[in-house]
Every structure is written in structure tokens, then in C-alpha cells.
Amino acid sequence: MDQPNPGDDQTNPGTVTKSSSWRSLSILSKDSSRNSVGERNSVSIDGYGRSGSKPVRYGSTGAESEGYSASQKEISDEEARFIYINDPQKTNDKFELAGNSIRTSKYSVLSFIPRNLFEQFHRVAYIYFLILAVLNQLPQLAVFGRATSILPLAFVLLVTAVKDAYEDWRRHRSDKIENKRLASVLVNGQFQQKRWKDIKVGEILRVSSNETIPCDMVLLSTSDPTGVAYIQTINLDGESNLKTRFARQETLSKMIEKEGVLGQIKCERPNRNIYGFLGNMEIDEKRVSLGPSNIVLRGCEIKNTSWVIGVAVYAGRETKVMLNSSGAPSKRSRLETHMNREILYLSAFLFSLCTLVSVCSGFWLHRYSDELDYIPFFRKLEFSDENDKDYKEKNYNYNGLALQIFFIFLMSVIVFQIMIPISLYISMELVRLGQAYFMIRDRRMYDEKSKSKFQCRALNMSEDLGQIKYVFSDKTGTLTENKMEFQCASIGGVDYSGGRAALPEENGYSVEEDGQVLRPKMTVKADPELQRLLKSSKMEERKHAHDFFLALAACNTIVPLVVDTSDPSLKLVDYQGESPDEQALVYAAATYGFMLIERTSGYIVIDVQGERQRFDVLGMHEFDSDRKRMSVIVGCPDKTMKVFVKGADTSMFSAIERSLNLGVIGATKKHLHSYSSLGLRTLVVAMRELSSPEFEQWHSDYEKANTALSRRARLLRTVACNVEKNLHILGASGIEDKLQEGVPEAIESLRQAGIKVWVLTGDKQETAISIGYSCKILTRDMNQIIINSNSMQSCKKSLEDGKAMSNTHTRGGVEPGGTALALIIDGTSLVYILDTELEQLLFELATKCTVVLCCRVAPLQKAGIVAIIKKRTEDMTLAIGDGANDVSMIQMADVGIGISGQEGRQAVMASDFAMGQFRFLLPLLLVHGHWNYQRMGYMILYNFYKNAVYVLVLFWYVLYTAFTLTTAINEWNSVLYSIIYTSLPTIVVGILDKDLGRETLMKYPQLYGPGQREECYNQRLFWLTMMDTVWQSAATFYVPFLAYRHSTLDASSIGDLWIISVVILVNIHLAMDVIRWSWITHAAMWGTILATCICVIIIDAVPGLPGYWAIFLLARTGVFWFCLIASVVAALVPRFVVKVFNQLLSPSDTQIIREAEKFGNTREFLGAEVVMNPIREPSQEMPR
């Protein structure tokens, strides 16, 4: 995940402490984890300390989440929640607050049927079939049996309801387990066990180490004497690194069980911002502020802390984790959207058929109006006993010409209703489920390093994977591993890059304590010259290097944890932190002899070249997006006070005293440019000493800022900037974030597949360009259009100049001579482009470029770039990222993919699919995407075809029965046609069929093109299918009709012949298109035909049903078998001929390669090459 560079002025409160042993760690969001190195912005939440006898450490932090802007204003009473500490009755009597019971289930026993039906009938097709079933209940419109007409819809609703019920039962079971968990609650001065669901807001709870927090609660006390608590939020956001929270000193010293705590908390109302909290607490007639570091959230676990005590402020459904439990916005498959268009066409066709039948019926009734008294279906007179005294002349079965035409129309809709295939919806869901199963089971998409499988989180999107035209990718953690490694440093203007070529020492630096050896868990390549410098006896020569590594070891929020090994005399120091950059820097400092040993609430212990030294942490200012740096104030062993600062070069050089460091600054800038060109992440380090008056002034200013009731964060930021000035530069560092395995090859294959890869990163431009070359997004022969503008006018001019340059190129961004275009644009320029009239210029320029690389972009800018393509083209977009600031981009794209990486699970939880490595895009798109699209596109067309064939056979019969809507096919056969006779084969083929093998699809990426060009499902194919359907239905109807026209065969008998013919026809039609046969396919195909014959026999063997014993008599004759074979052959011959000539005269890429697969050995032996059709370039602006 890459972090952006927005200019939002949103921060959270800082931290105050007055104890000689005080420390604070920032509680960084996922987005901020790399910001300590100055490359990106962060979302940081600072800790709050406690006051004691000695003045110590203070701090401020910044943030850029929306929730933090609230820290700049006071909460009004109308917008606030009031909690009376240890008085839940008063709290809940005055305010109607939620209990702590949670419910993630959707239904109850009473609400399941009405609510589930309501949700299912959101599908318009279901309402359509319900109306038809109701109409069939009317005597005037009854075509089928009343129960029979309801059965298909009831079956579909029942299957879906059972699935929903099972899923909801699992949620009920999970809720029950969660609500019955136990927690310690203060009752009458003693902590007693209480079920989670019975906890109330205002109650005081005690949570021990490794236990889970049952509700959102403000910390009152911890086992640490200075109020620090370590928590793990893996259940909340997936991050496994430890974070810190703090109890205020006003409550920390109280003996809660004996003395009790009485007071009032005023805080913001429940909201979804898990990284923000604003409130204050009135206790002992004193008002103290509360911030994000004073609250622990439900689902977090206590680590490395014996116990914590807190008061519940949000419970149950109002906790932040529950408010964030809703999923990502639902997306619809592009293929399903197009399918709805064809369903409208079928509806119009159905309306036309019904209109034709009703109009023709009107003409027929008018022509034979004089004979209607005696015609059975329309007789107007009742011929009952005239001697009956109650006899009256009346109309028996006739409603007048106009009403009769209307009724005939409605009856036609009922008879032809399966023209709209209700079974298609269930078939699609089952096929998608099967496709998802094989994607999840694909070992080629299993990441061995992270032990993560492919996840299919959106079943309705699998076919969209075969139509992607644009891939928008994050860089860090997506293209790279997000495992930082210290590579080189510039110290005092001297470049120390020798470590890049060196091998890491086998054991590395270590220290000995009480007979045990402590060694860093990871080793770093060390520069021999720099090591010699640090061991030099001349202090003046090594002073810069000494201070540089001391700054790396001290200016961070890393927690050192000692880990046991199999050797009792050896222990490893594992540096835990939210920022991979900080971990890399601390490991580097340890390698060079500055080993962070201990971090407590108020001091840190660093082993400096074998000498253990204690540094009191007097203050810390966390990274924020405005300052782009962080600083720590430490009290050194020599009684001096120093402020160490590290941050981005763009912000650090403005804070450095240039008059004293001019030569060093110039050399450092050159080294920074060199490091960035190598793709390294850079950081500038500086320091200065603080005098006692300066420290006291800072202390005073901070007190005022932190106790301010409004604009607190802005004031705290000002205090930080005042101390971070007149700095002496120490040097700069270069950290490598290595490319993931197979990234260059994957990008090249995607490009060959006609997919454009755009990289949207928060890195600085030089770093992004270097990574672009490394992963082959950029090539040396590309012409680069670079846009770095600071105003709308300059942006407009740059875009126009770039467009003029691109006009000499073809639409694909490639000159006739072969040179490609690459557009490189920064986030500052996008501020003036997005959501303005310049968007169109950017779109026109970007779509003419082969590559687009956006640097220093904010999360919403990432989403804005994706939106530019979505709004102006019909091309499918895919976004892939690994962190929280990629969520907006992932949700904006047609398909969103989350990387299960180093930065938690926010991206995964918001995605449609999740996987462990970027390179898995190749099998996902080129193989599974291709298969899924081809299968689903064919399956939809086939379902339209098989239902239309059946309907048209009924239609031809209606033409010869005086438009009375009587049907020759038994109503039970009509019901079973979609459920049993034809459903299984298409589902099996939709899951198992493969037009090409995996190796072939990976070898020839160009074969991905048919999905982009919509070759497997489009309007042309739809209308050709419908034309073929008309012929096949006519052949199926007229061959038996003509054969038996002058016979005495009854309607039920010929109806049996037609239903068997249609089932054989549609299955052989499907068999003609199956490419990869398996025993399952054979069993489904031929087993369905056999099942149809068995069902027809059973139905005809039931006394009382129409057509009793008809099939037994019919099958004895040779005419029956002749008609069965002749009708199928006549129906399929034109299709077979057209298919053969089409493949001979105009074969597609897929057909050519399929033949190459079949005769692969011969082709390889002859050295033949397969030439692909050119990839179509993206369309220009099209309305969506």
C-alpha cells in the first residue's frame, strides 16, 4: 500500500505527560505505517500520558482521517454522549443506549419468511413469474394446473431460502457464542464474572492479558505504573503489530476496587472511525481531555500487559467494529447487466408472440362468430335439461369478443412464460460457486510465504475477470514485498553504499547481559568503511555517524521484544512496530552497534557500541501530513537534551539551518537523488540540542495547546514546528522495498494481453520511476510526458502540450516507428485536474499512452483516476492494492483485488477477490478469467436458446388449435423441462468446460482478447442464436406434425414426441459445443436424456393424468423413431454446416490455438508459429 500526499489539515490531539518515566507510541493506522520514513502521509493517533512528580515527555501527532478533524472543535451537548462512570443505571436511564448484545444475523424465526421473500422479490423476474402464477389461478385464465403453475417459482424461492437460512443459522450460532463470553465487571466494589451481552455502558471492566476487549471502553488504569497498555488489533483491522494505549494519570493512581471512581465522560456519538475518538472526562472536579489513545475497541486483545481497567462507552451494535461490519458496496457483473438487456428483448419478443396470438384469435372468433354456440371451447349456450325449472339460457364459456381477446393475451403470457428463463438465475449462481471452488483450490495461486489461499469474496464477479482492460495497481506491498531492508546511508555528506554489495554477517552485532547473548532477530548488510568509522578513536570523525545511528535507534515507536531460542544462552530481540520502515532503520542501527534494548513508559535503553545507556523520553511529535516528519526529545546520559528529527526531504530541508550545513546539504541532496533513482525509499535525519529555557518554553506552549478546547490539533502542530527548526543535518538513509517475485514477467504478459497497467503510488517521483523500470512498466525507449504543475493554468498547458505530442502517435500510444508514450503525473497536479474540466484532457492524453504512472497521490485521487476511465469508456477496470488507502480505489473499480500482505486486511475486506502475490493476476485473469467468461457467456445464450425452442414449439402448435392456448405437452413435462430435463448439463459445462488448456493460455496472453472484445456474448450472437432457434423449433414441430397430420394420433401422444425431441435436440446442441469432455459431462448430458424418458414414462403411467399410456403405444411404431431422429437432424444440420464453414474460412484465435493444442507435437516439430490477431485498442469516450 502506498501512502498519499494530501494537504488535508486534519490532525488529532497530542500527548502530555509529567512523569520521569513516560513514553508514548503512536497508534498508526495502516496508511501511516511507512510514514515515519518521510515518504508518505500517515494517519496517526498519539498517546496520552499521565502527570507525576517530575516533568518529562510531551508530544503531538497529526492525522488525516476525517475523524480527526473533530479534535479541532468542542463537542456540543446535542452531539455528545454522557456516561456516568460506575453508574450504569443513571447512564442508561437518562439515555437510551444499546446493550452489549450483538446480532449479525439477518433473520429471526418470525421474520425469516416475510423478509426473505421480500428480498428475493427484488429480482424483477421473480415478480413476473409470481404475477403469472396468480393469473393462472383465475378460472378464465387457467392454462396449467394451479399447483403446477406455482411449482417452478416455489422451487427457486425454496432453494434460495434454504441457502439463506443455513447462512443465517451460522451467524446465529456465532452470535450466541460471542454473547455468552464472560468478562470481569465491577459490581458492589468487586469484580465479578458477567456475560458480554449483559454489560452496560457506564460499567467498569477489568480485562487481563491475552483476553479480548468486550466493548469500546476508555482506559482508567493499567498494570503498568505509568498507564501504558499494549494491544493487538488483528481482529479489528488485521494488523498483528503491537499498539499502545494510555490511561490518564488522574484515574491511574486510584484504587478502583476500594475507592471506586465517580465522574462523567462526555464524548462523541458512536461512529465508524476506528482511528479517532474525541471526548473529555470530569473527575475530582477536574476536566481532562480524551483522545484516540485513551480508548480500546471491542475485538482488540491485551498483550504484554497484565491487566487493564476501563469504563464502557460504546456497547453492542454501537461499537466501532460493529458499525464497520457492513461489507463493501455491492457490484454487478457486466455480463449480467448485458443479460438484462437481452431479457428485455425476449420480453418484447414474448409480448409480440402473445399479441399475435390474441389478434389472430380475435379474427378467428369474428369469422366463426355464428358457430360459437356449438364449438366446445367457446360455446355460448348451455345445453342442460330444459325441463329443469332452474334452467336459464346463458353464456357458458364466452365473455364477448373484446374480453376474450384480452384473456387470450394473458393466457398466452402464461403458456409462453418460460421464454424468460427463471432457472437461469439459479444456474448462474451454481456455476459461479463451482468456478469459485476451482479458483480457491488452484495451487498456483497459493502463496507459500504468507500461507494465504486465493479468496473469492464476491461470487457474482467471476466472469468479469475475463474482460479486464485496465489494471490500476498500488506499488508498495503490491508490486513490492513491503519488507524493508536498509541498504545505504549518506552521513555528513559522505555516501556509504558499500553495504549493498556486501553479504550480511552470519551472526551480526550482539551484546551480552547476565551471561546471555542478545542479538537482533534480523541481520542487515553493513558497510565496512562505515563500521571502521564508528570504531575510530577520534570522536570528531565519527560524531556525525554516532548521532545519525543514535537518531535511528531513538526516533521511532518500536517496541523491542526478547524472544527465546533453542539455545538457552541466546535470545533474539524482535523489533515490533507498525511501520516496516522504522523496523528496518532500527535493525540497521543495531547492526552498526546502536542496539535498542528496552523501551519503558518513560525511557529507552540503547546499547551504544557495547556501553548501555539510558535516554529519558521527554517528548515525541508523531508524523503528520502537514509537517511530514516526526521528532523525539530525549534526555541524554550527559545531562543534555536533544531533539532528533527524521522525515521527507521536502519538509526536512526547510527546517535545517542552511548556513552551517551548506556543503553537507548539497552532497546529501545528490545522494538522495541517486538513491531514489535506484528505487530506494529515502529519509533525512537531523538533530539539535535544546537548552533548558527552550525546553521549558516548549513545555509551556504544549500545556496551553493540549488543554485548549478548540483547534487543539492545529495548536499542537504549531508547537511541534517551533521545536523542529534550526536543525543540523546528520544524513539520509536509503531503504529498499524489493519487487515481488514474478512482477516484471506478469506485467509484460498483461501488456501482451492488451491490458494497460497504471501504477498509482504515494512514492516520490524518482522512486516510482525507478521501480517502473525495474518491473518493466517503463522501458528505456519510451518517450516520457512528465506533468508536475502547481496551478490549473500550468496543468492545462502541460496537458495540451502532452496531447499535442501524443497526436504524432497512434491511439495505442505507439509511434509508427515503435516508440511508446508514458505519462507521469504527480498528486499536486491531480488536485487541479480531477473533478474539473481538465479531466477530459487528462483522459484523452492518458488513453493514448502505453503507461500511466501517478506519484504522490492521495487515496481519493486513486479512486478519481479509476473513475475517469469508468465514466468515459465501457472498458472493464481492475484495482489491486494491499492497504487501507487503496480501499477507495478497490471499491471504485469494476473488480477489486486485495493483497494479503504486511499491512493488515482493510484492502482484503473491501475487495471482491484476495490473493497473496501480484503475479497471481496472470492465472487469475488469463486462465480463470478467460474460462469463466467463455463459460458464462455461452451458458446464458444457451439458456435463452433452450427455453425459446420450447416456447416456439408451443407457439407453432397454437397456430393449429384455433388459438385456444391448449398445449399438447403435459403440464408436468412443462414444469420439469427447466428443472430436470435441461438444467444439469448446462451447469456442468459451465463449471468444467475449457476451450483451451492452462499452459496455452499462459503461453499466449493474446488469447485474453476475446473477453475484451466481448466475442463470447454480444447482441450479434444473441440474434443469431434466436434466428437458429426459430429454425430448430420449426423443424422439431413440423417433422412430427407432417408425419402424423392425417393420423388419429391424439395431442398427448405427439406432445410426448415433441418434449423428447426438444430435450434430445437441446442436449445434442450443447454437446456440439462442448470442447473438453469428462465422465461428469457425459453422465450429465446423456443421463439427462435418459431421465427425461423415464419421467415421461412415469407421467404417462399415472392414471387420471392426460395422455395415460400414450408413450407406450407411440414408441411401438417406427414413425415415432423416424420423427425423433429426423427432427433432431433437420434442426441441427444448418447449425453444423455454418459452424464448419465458419471455422474453415474465418477461424478465431481460440480455434487456431485449439488446433495447435491438438496437434502440438507436430507444430513444435515443424517450428510453426501461431500469429495472433492484433489487440483492439481502448475505445474513446463513450457514455456509461
Closest CA to 585 of 735, 764, 738: 735
Phi, then psi, of 129 in degrees rounded to 5:
-70, -30
Instruction: Write a three-state SS string for 193-251.
Output: EEEHHHCCCCCEEEEECCCECCCEEEEEEECCCCCEEEEECHHHHCCCCEEEEECCHHH
CB 763 within 8 A of CB 681: yes
Helices 930-958 and 423-440, interaxial angle, to 10°?
160
> What burial letters (b/e) apply to 880-891, b meaning 16+ CB within 10 Å?
bbbbbbbbbbbb
Residue 604: C-alpha distances to residues 544, 559, 560, 991 (Å): 21, 10, 10, 60
SS3 category, 328: coil
Distance CA 536, CA 593 (A): 13
Facing residues of 151 across strands? none
Residue 474 annotated to the active site: yes
Q: Which entry of 2, 464, 474, 616 is annotated as an active-site residue?
A: 474
Hunting for cell 527546517 — which residue is that? 655
Closest CA to 489 of 735, 219, 663, 658: 735
Q: How many residues does the chain have?
A: 1184
Question: How much is the CA Rg of the chain, to the nearest whole Å?
Answer: 37
Closest CA to 204 of 338, 311, 327, 324: 311
Distance CA 624, CA 64 (A): 8
Distance CA 899, CA 717 (A): 34
Q: For residue 367, give the C-alpha cell.
A: 369469422
CB 215 within 8 A of CB 236: no
Q: What share of the chain is helix, strand, coil (3-state, %, to 5)?
A: 45, 20, 35
Distance CA 218, CA 232 (A): 16
CB 1033 within 8 A of CB 1039: no
SS3 category, 297: coil
Cα angle 163, 166, 167; round to 5: 85
Cα angle 449, 450, 452; round to 5: 120
Closest CA to 746 of 931, 915, 500: 915
Distance CA 133, CA 970 (A): 17
CB 644 within 8 A of CB 554: yes
- The contacts of residue 348 (CB under 8 Å, 6+ apart) are none
Catalytic residues: 474
